[in-house]
Amino acid sequence: MSDTKTESLKPAAMSRCGTVSIIGRPNVGKSTLLNHLVGYKLSAIANKPQTTRTNIRGIVTQTGHPEKPDFQIIFTDTPGIHQNSGNLLNRTLNSEAVAAVEDVDAIIMMVEALKWTAEDDFVLKRLQHVNRPVFLLINKVDRIKEKERLFPYLKEVGDKHQFAEIIPVSASKGINTDVLIDALLKVLPESEFIYPEDHITDKSVRFICAELIREQLVRNLHEELPYTTAVEIEKFEETDNLVTIEAVIWTDRKNQKGIIIGKKGETLKRIGQAARHSLEDFLMKKVMLKQWVKVEENWQNNPRHLNELGIISNREL
């Protein structure tokens, strides 16, 4: 993995390459889709909104298929677009997601099967003037036992916008994700590859490790508490057999520090054990993980801190 682009490896006449943004309201399965397509857990997954806090690119490359062109698709998983944008963090999440529909070759809008909410309308409104193919993915169709219930729903959502295609999928089980790839290949340009064939993301290993730790915070803490926390990797050292990671968990109030640590440190220990397993699966090495909890009041409205966490860029300060 690398943060730098390199010279292409495929001539334009033999390959297709393009960028695709995945957008939608919180908790519709955007990160699950990205992770499935890439084949690695790049983006934190939890059944709670705001799990994704910055645009994360996942790179899918295929060569040598007898019936398909060589292709490279750079998918961008975006934070869930939501109507409540009170603090700087929430406003940044919305602006990150909206910015992701600019200068791309195609857009995937995700919704949940048999549901269409005011937030879905809010997302669609952001696409009304976008001059790019928009594919509507109806996610979680595996949960619908009576499939005939989907037919009137598909007609209803089809009337809301001139979508390039409407594709029922299950991001978690990979249902119809091959159909999605084939549909995207019809609209992506013939082009050289942007990244080497073995790259799966443009994010650093440190960033992904922080995401995997934060995922366990979201899974293990009280409903509201995870949204006042963030993870920063202070040390990352790798040898042939071991990766040593030291991480700081930031929160914005002293009483929350005690909740994260838990009685006799049990909560933090549980979070650390689960995170270590995820880190070892990702890094394919043994991991020694050390965690500390620190307090910085109102970090969600501190541009400097958001920049250090990779949520807001220097140019936005």
**How large is the average pLDDT for residues 195-214?**
89
Predicted pLDDT of residue 42: 79
- Is pLDDT at 240 greater than 70 in this prediction? yes
Average pLDDT across the chain, whole number: 83
Q: What are phi and psi of 32, to 5 degrees?
A: -60, -40
**How large is the average pLDDT for residues 145-166?**
95
Give Rg (Cα) of the chain.
20
Percentage, residues of the chain above pLDDT 70: 77
Predicted pLDDT of residue 106: 96
Position 279 confidence tier, pLDDT thresholds 50, 70, 90: very high
| C-alpha closest to that of 275 among 223, 218, 229 | 218
**How large is the average pLDDT for residues 296-302?**
69
Position 3 confidence tier, pLDDT thresholds 50, 70, 90: very low
| More confident position, 80 or 132 | 132
Predicted pLDDT of residue 252: 83
Q: Find tokens 């549909």 and name the residue.
A: 183
Q: Does domain 12-185 have CATH number 3.40.50.300?
A: yes
The amino acid at residue 257 is K
CATH fold for domain 205-316: GMP Synthetase; Chain A, domain 3 (3.30.300)
Predicted pLDDT of residue 194: 93
Q: What is the DSSP letter of 281?
A: H
Interacting residues of 118 by C-beta distance below 8 A, sequence separation 6+? 83
Nearest-angstrom CA–CA distance, 93 and 82: 9
The domain spans of the chain are: 12-185, 205-316
Question: Burial of 152 by CB count in 10 Å (0-12 exposed, 13-18 middle, 19+ buried)?
Answer: exposed
Predicted pLDDT of residue 18: 95
Alpha-carbon torsion (189, 194, 195, 200), positive or negative: negative
- Is pLDDT at 4 greater than 50 in this prediction? no
Angle at 79 between CA 182 and CA 151, to 5 degrees: 50
pLDDT tens per residue across span 9-50: 544 456 999 999 999 988 899 989 998 999 887 776 545 545
Nearest-angstrom CA–CA distance, 100 and 98: 5
Interacting residues of 239 by C-beta distance below 8 A, sequence separation 6+? none
Choose the weakest-confidence range: 83-87, 232-236, 274-278. 83-87
Could you tell me the end-to-end alpha-carbon distance of the chain, in angstroms, rounded to an integer?
28
Beta bridge partners of 148: none
Residue 61, CB-side half-sphere exposure with 13 Å CA sphere:
18
